[in-house]
Chains A and B, each alone.
Chain A
C-alpha cells in the first residue's frame, strides 16, 4: 500500500505510467536493502542472544530467552515451562530439577503443589530478551577496554599527525615556487604507488631498528604521511586567493603564521574530509598491525577480534557482541557524516 503510493508520486509527475524498468529498479533496490542491511541487522540481533539461543537450529529471528520465576521456598530462580499434564490440561510450571527423563515441576502460584512430568511433555516459555551480558562480560573477562583504548589512541594520534604533516607539505606545494618542487610532487605521486602490502618486511625492519616494535607507535607512524592527504589538501589550497597570503606578508606575518592562521582555517572543509578518511583508515587497519603487534596488550580492536575468532569459536556470543562494538563508531560516523564522505569520495576518487 505504502509502496504503491510511493511509486505513484515519482519525481517525473503522477500522470506518467510506470515503465517496466522503474518496477525492475525498485525491485533491485529492495533486494539491495535486504542483502546489504540484512547481514548487519542479523549480526546485531544475534549479538543479543544468549549462548544457548545461539546454538539453536534453525535460529529464531529475535533474541529469545526462557522466562525464569522466583518461587517461594526455592533458593534460585526457576525456568518456566508450558506443560501438558496427564489430565489433558496445559499449565505454566516452574522446573525444580530434572532427573533423567522426568522433571520435577512446581506451580509458581501454588508452590506446595508438585508435579512429575516427562520432559517431552513440556516446552520452555520464552520471551524476547536482550542478553546484555554478552556486552558486559567481555569487559571483565578480556582486556577489552585495553583494546578499545589502543584503537582510539592509534586513531586519534595518527589522524592528528597526518593532518599536521600533510597540511604542511600541501601548503609548501601549493603556495611556494622553489627548486625541486616538481621532484617533490613526483615523489608524492611515487609513494601513491607503493602500498604497504609490498614493503611489509622492510618497514618492519625500520620500525624494529627505531625501537618501536610492539608499541602503538609502530602502528601510528608508518602510515602517518599519506600521499592522498597531501594531494587532497594541495588541490584545495590551490583554490585559495593568493592576494590573501600576499596581504598577510605585507603585514609582517611569518610564513608559519600564514600557514596556521590564514591557510589552515580556510582549508577546514578539506581537512575535515581527510580527518574522516584517516579515522576510517586507522580504525579499520588490519594487515600492518597484524604483522607488527605480537603482544596482546598492544592489540588494537581489529587484531583482538581476529585473535578471538580463532580462540572463541565456541563462544560466538562474546565474539558477536565485540564485533558490534567494533562496528558501532564507524556506523555512527556514517550516519552523521554520510554526505561528507560520499561527496569526498565522489570528488577525489579515493577511499
Chain B
C-alpha cells in the first residue's frame, strides 16, 4: 500500500527485473506529466497562498460538473418551456407550460389511449409495470441467493462469482446473449420442442416480451444486490447465532427473528436502489425488444431518447419536459434512499 512509483524510489526497482521495468514504463509518463505541472502550481501557490490551493484542486472537476451537469440542468428547464425544432435555446420560442400540458393532456391517466401523447403514457405504464415486477423479483431472488451464500457452503467464492459476473457485462452483450437463446430457432425453443411443445416466437407476444425484459434485467443485475445483502448478512454479529444455537432455536425462527429483522435496513437500501435503477431502464430492453412488439416494452428513457434523438422530427422540448418529469420522480426516490441510508446508520 505504501510503495510509491519505482521512479521516485528507484532503488526499489533495481534487481527485481522486468516487472519493475514494466512499471516504470507505465509510471514514467505520469511522473513526467505531474512534474511538468510543478512549476506553474508552485507559482499559483505563491500568488494565492497554500490554503486557497484547495480551489485549484477542485477546479477541473467542477468545470466538468458545471459544463456537463449543472449547466445542462438549467438548459433542460429552458428546453422544457420552449418550443420549435432549434437546438440553441435563444432560437427557441417561449411556450410556457405547453410542453407539460401536452404531455399531461389525458382523458384518463389509467388509459394511455385517451392521451394526446399516448406514447409517453404507454412508456410510463410499461415502466411502472416493469419496475414493480423487476424490483420484486430482483429483491426476492437476491435475498434468497444472499441467504444461501451466507450458509456454510463449500466454494462460496466461486458461487458468489457465478451470480455476480453478469453485472459486469455490457447491456448490449447481455441482450444479444438472450436474444440468441430466445430466437425462433434458439436453444429454448429447441428445449420446448424436445419436450413436445410448440415453438413460441417470444418477441411478437407483448406478455412474453415484458416477461423476458424483466427476466433478462434481473439476470444481469441481481448479483449486485446479492452482494450488498451478503455484506449486510455478514455484518450481523456471530454471537447472536451462537446464542440461538445454544437455545436450539429452529432454523426458520433464527431466520425470521434474527436474520431478517437485522437485514431490513439493507433491504430498504436495496429496494430503493433497485427502484432508481429500474425507473431508468433502457439499454438491455432496448436491444432485446426494441420497445416492441408495438409499444409493449417501450420505457420512459427510450421515449426520451427517441423523441429527442432518433425520431423524424427531433422534438427536444418534449424530450426535455419528459426528462424533467423523470428527474422529479428520481429525485423523490433519491431522497428516500438518503432517508433509508441515514436510518441504517442510526
State the A residues within 8 Å of B (CB): 6-7, 9-12, 19, 21-22, 25-26, 28-29, 32-33, 35-37, 39-40, 42-43, 46, 55-59, 164-166, 168-169, 171-173, 175-178, 181, 184, 187-188, 191-195, 197-206, 208-210, 221-225, 230, 249, 254-257, 259-261, 265-266, 268-269, 280, 283-284, 286-287, 290-291, 302, 305-306, 309, 316, 319-320, 323, 326-327, 330-331, 333-334, 338, 341-342, 345-347, 349, 351
Residues of B within 8 A of A169 (CB): 57-58, 60-62
Quick check: A265 and B4 within 8 Å, CB to CB? yes
16 intermolecular pairs with C-beta atoms under 8 Å apart:
A21-B251, A42-B187, A57-B189, A59-B190, A178-B52, A193-B331, A195-B280, A200-B305, A200-B323, A201-B323, A202-B320, A206-B72, A223-B68, A225-B64, A254-B42, A309-B287
A225 to B63, CA, bound (A): 9
Measured CB to CB, the nearest residue on chain A to B252 is: A21
Quick check: A197 and B173 within 8 Å, CB to CB? no
Quick check: B61 and A166 within 8 Å, CB to CB? yes
A111 to B73, CA, bound (A): 78
State the B residues within 8 Å of A (CB): 1-5, 8, 34, 37-38, 41-42, 45, 50-55, 57-58, 60-62, 64-65, 67-76, 79, 87-89, 144-145, 148, 151-154, 159-173, 176-181, 185-187, 189-190, 193-194, 219, 224, 227-228, 230-231, 251, 269, 273, 280, 282-283, 287, 301, 304-305, 308-309, 316, 319-320, 323-324, 326-327, 330-331, 334
A10 to B42, CA, bound (A): 62
Quick check: A255 and B190 within 8 Å, CB to CB? no
Residues of B within 8 A of A35 (CB): 219
Residues of A within 8 A of B151 (CB): 21-22, 25
Measured CB to CB, the nearest residue on chain A to B269 is: A349
A175 to B9, CA, bound (A): 25
Q: Is the interface of B mostly helix, strand, loop or mixed?
A: helix
Known interface pairs A205-B87, A265-B2; A176-B54 also in contact (CB < 8 Å): yes
Quick check: B162 and A33 within 8 Å, CB to CB? yes
Known interface pairs A39-B177, A287-B305; A197-B190 also in contact (CB < 8 Å): no
Measured CB to CB, the nearest residue on chain A to B305 is: A291
Known interface pairs A169-B57, A178-B55, A327-B169; A32-B251 also in contact (CB < 8 Å): no
Quick check: B304 and A286 within 8 Å, CB to CB? no
Quick check: B54 and A178 within 8 Å, CB to CB? yes
* The 4 residue pairs across chains A and B that have the minimum distance between CB atoms: A225-B64, A202-B75, A202-B72, A284-B170
Residues of B within 8 A of A257 (CB): 38
Residues of A within 8 A of B269 (CB): 349
Count chain A CB atoms within 10 A of each CB in B54, B193, B194, B282 and give the residue with the most.
B54
Quick check: B65 and A326 within 8 Å, CB to CB? no
How far does the Cβ of A167 sit from chain B's closest Cβ, in whole Å?
9
Residues of A within 8 A of B79 (CB): 201-202
Known interface pairs A42-B187, A202-B76, A306-B287; A193-B330 also in contact (CB < 8 Å): yes
Measured CB to CB, the nearest residue on chain B to A203 is: B72
Quick check: A43 and B180 within 8 Å, CB to CB? yes
| 15 more A-B residue pairs beyond the given contacts A201-B76, A309-B287, with a C-beta to C-beta distance below 8 A | A25-B153, A29-B153, A42-B187, A59-B185, A59-B187, A169-B58, A176-B51, A176-B53, A184-B58, A225-B64, A260-B34, A265-B3, A286-B283, A316-B180, A320-B176
Residues of A within 8 A of B72 (CB): 199, 202-203, 205-206
